[in-house]
Chain A
Amino acid sequence: MTDPGQAAERLLEVEGLTIVLRHRRRPPAAIARDVSLHVNAGEIVGLIGESGSGKTMTAKSLIGLLPDRMEVVSGGVRFRGRDLLDGGDPGRVRGRDIALIPQDALHALNPVKTIGWQVGEPLKVHGGWRQRRIATVVGDLLERVHIPDARRRAGDYPHQFSGGMQQRALTAMALSMEPPLILADEPTTALDVTIQAEIIDLIGELRDATGASFLFISHDLALVSSFCDRIYVMYAGEIVESGTTDAIFNHTRHPYTRALIGAAPRLAGNPERLPTIPGRIPRPHEEIRGCRFRERCPEAGAACGEAPRLETAGGNHAYRCWYA
């Protein structure tokens, strides 16, 4: 599985990852099915899909943070060639090698601890640093994410920060151990466009300054298309299309990707009605024969009763559809 002509270091490699949710009365349901993806050093990779498609759980499984009844049943996750699933404790890489900026900023911070204390927490856990040194580093970190008057505001409690500032504080926390890979789970969803642009800028800045890689999870195609190098499109637990941003948006193969792109309104020149995707995403336990998008797919045909395999269209571009 090597890409010819790609010299960049393979930082993260996920192969055939399947996550299931165990249930007392039902058979286990697949949350992620045979997910393969990779992130190269210095790359910003997007992971998009509707709510409930399994983006968050895929990201969490990489650092061993799956909820109670979920587990990885097959597949492999390698970080710099080291196996994270077999090698025992995935918690070891958490924070140090791979950091997560969690989805819900407003609930991710502890309301009774200061921002500075929380941002410095990973340094205490992983680095065992002294208090004075931590305070200096925390100040630098908050400055780096453009918190105004960072050193003083480190003493603030979360409720004294606006939503955007809280989100940036979480980003600072993820950066504290200077991890080579950061999983950013919808870090801008609650923010207005100008602050969103700031966070996106910051991510680009960090990549340029430290060579860090990002897996950027979002359901906002417009956003992802504006700054990611490559994109994975996820639907009902499966990767249905992947490729460079240009390939995904200008040479779209998969009907689902096409539908998603069409559904987003534009600044100008909108049609009278937005194209929509009928129906809804299937729940993980719903058994579906053939292509998982079939019931909603405008292009479905006779072959779709059989589950399509991932095909390559040259280069990095791959898709999972019989008629693409």
Chain B
Amino acid sequence: MRIAAGTPEAMLLVAKNLSRTFRGGGMLRRGGDVRALNDVSFNLAENQTLGIVGESGSGKSTLLRVILRLTPYDSGNLAFDGAEVASLTGTALKDLRRRVQPVFQDPYATFNPRFSIGSSIGLGFELLGEHRRQDVREEVRRLLDDVGLDPDLERALPHELSGGQRQRAAIARALAVRPDLLLLDEPTSALDVSVQAQVLNLFKDLRRRYGFSLILVTHDLPVVGFMCEHLLVMKSGEVVERGATATVIGNPVSEYTRTLIDSAPEVSGTKTQPVARP
């Protein structure tokens, strides 16, 4: 991996041997503990894009939630801009909150149903506390315009928007606080191909304009092929392969990555039945 050669100081995010186990053993649970993350290590430099793929339950979302500090990790290290995420408190934690922003998969649950889109997007500005009330409204309208939505949609309630519009609005909310790192959890898997293309292009445009790093979780390999320079393949909580996207896809080393690539259907005129796992 090219980025591994860089000095740790230039890294935005450094994960070393991260592990997270969910304790089972409730009355109705059978299996017991779930090792959602097992010795996960990777680096992310500033202004880089990293795609994470892997089967359902391989710990992709858990990894994002750990980075967002929505859930703790049990062992290993995770440094954001040189500081250990687990030990952040007070203003340092506030700083992390501002600089790392998520966009979630479910376009329905991503906005509070009781508030207008504009009010939810304005929240970020209010929490930053840098703007006066009137300015917030202006900023919100500008952001909506930036993500390709009609600024008048600020007054709309979430259920009045389509899935694609809601996902755009969610991106606007995340961008309000000017993050350095955007974490996207399956941001387009609920959308049509045509809407997906618009949203993916939007990410690229916005990245060029705002210059943030990006981690994208998906089960759709072609999306990573389009969006990300680097790729991390996960299976059962472990990293099975990582490297430049083109290299990994063109020349997969691990058996599992090969299966993934073979199972991913691609647009073509010839029937190439996707290959199932043995």
Contact = CB atoms under 8 A, between A and B. Distances in A.
Contact, chains A and B (beta carbon distance below 8 A): yes
A259 B197 CA distance: 11
Interface in B212-228: 219-223, 225-227
Nearest to A219: B192
A162 interface: yes
Contacts of B194: 50, 259-260, 263, 276-277
Given A51-B192, A270-B225, A227 B263 contact: no
Given A263-B196, A264-B222, A267-B222, A193 B260 contact: yes
B267 A191 contact: no
A195 B58 CA distance: 13
Contacts of A249: 267-269
Interface size class of A (residues with CB under 8 A): 35 or more
A316 B245 CA distance: 40
A193 B264 contact: yes
Interface string A154-196: 0000000011100000000000000000000000000111111
B114 interface: no
A267 B249 contact: yes
The 10 closest A-B pairs by CB, nearest first: A249-B269, A250-B269, A265-B226, A192-B219, A263-B197, A197-B263, A274-B197, A226-B265, A197-B274, A197-B276
Given A222-B222, A245-B269, A266-B222, A196 B274 contact: yes
A26 interface: no
Interface in A286-315: none
Nearest to B268: A225
A246 interface: yes
15 contacts: A50-B194, A193-B221, A194-B263, A201-B274, A219-B193, A225-B266, A225-B271, A226-B265, A226-B266, A263-B194, A265-B197, A265-B200, A267-B221, A267-B264, A276-B198
Which of A162, A248, A273: most chain B Cβ within 10 A?
A273
A276 B197 contact: yes
Contacts of A164: 56
Contacts of B57: 162
B261 interface: yes
Interface of A: 50-51, 162-164, 191-198, 200-201, 204, 219-223, 225-229, 245-246, 248-250, 259-261, 263-268, 270, 272-277, 280
Contacts, number: 141
A164 B56 CA distance: 9
Interface in B229-278: 246, 249-250, 259-261, 263-277
Given A50-B192, A225-B268, A267-B221, 16 more contacts: A193-B221, A193-B264, A195-B55, A204-B273, A245-B269, A250-B269, A259-B194, A261-B267, A264-B193, A264-B267, A265-B223, A265-B226, A268-B246, A270-B225, A274-B226, A276-B198
Interface residues of B, number: 44
A198 B276 contact: yes
A292 to B, nearest CB: 15
Nearest to A163: B56
B156 to A, nearest CB: 15
Contacts of A263: 193-194, 196-197
Nearest to A44: B271
B75 interface: no
B261 A267 contact: yes
Contacts of B226: 265-266, 270, 274
B201 interface: yes
A197 B194 CA distance: 23
Contacts of B263: 193-194, 196-197
Contact of A227 (B196, B249, B250, B271): B271
A51 to B, nearest CB: 5
B260 A194 contact: yes
B269 A200 contact: no
Contacts of B227: 265
A226 B200 contact: no
Interface in B145-163: 162-163
A250 B261 CA distance: 23
Which of B163, B246, B271, B273: most chain A Cβ within 10 A?
B271
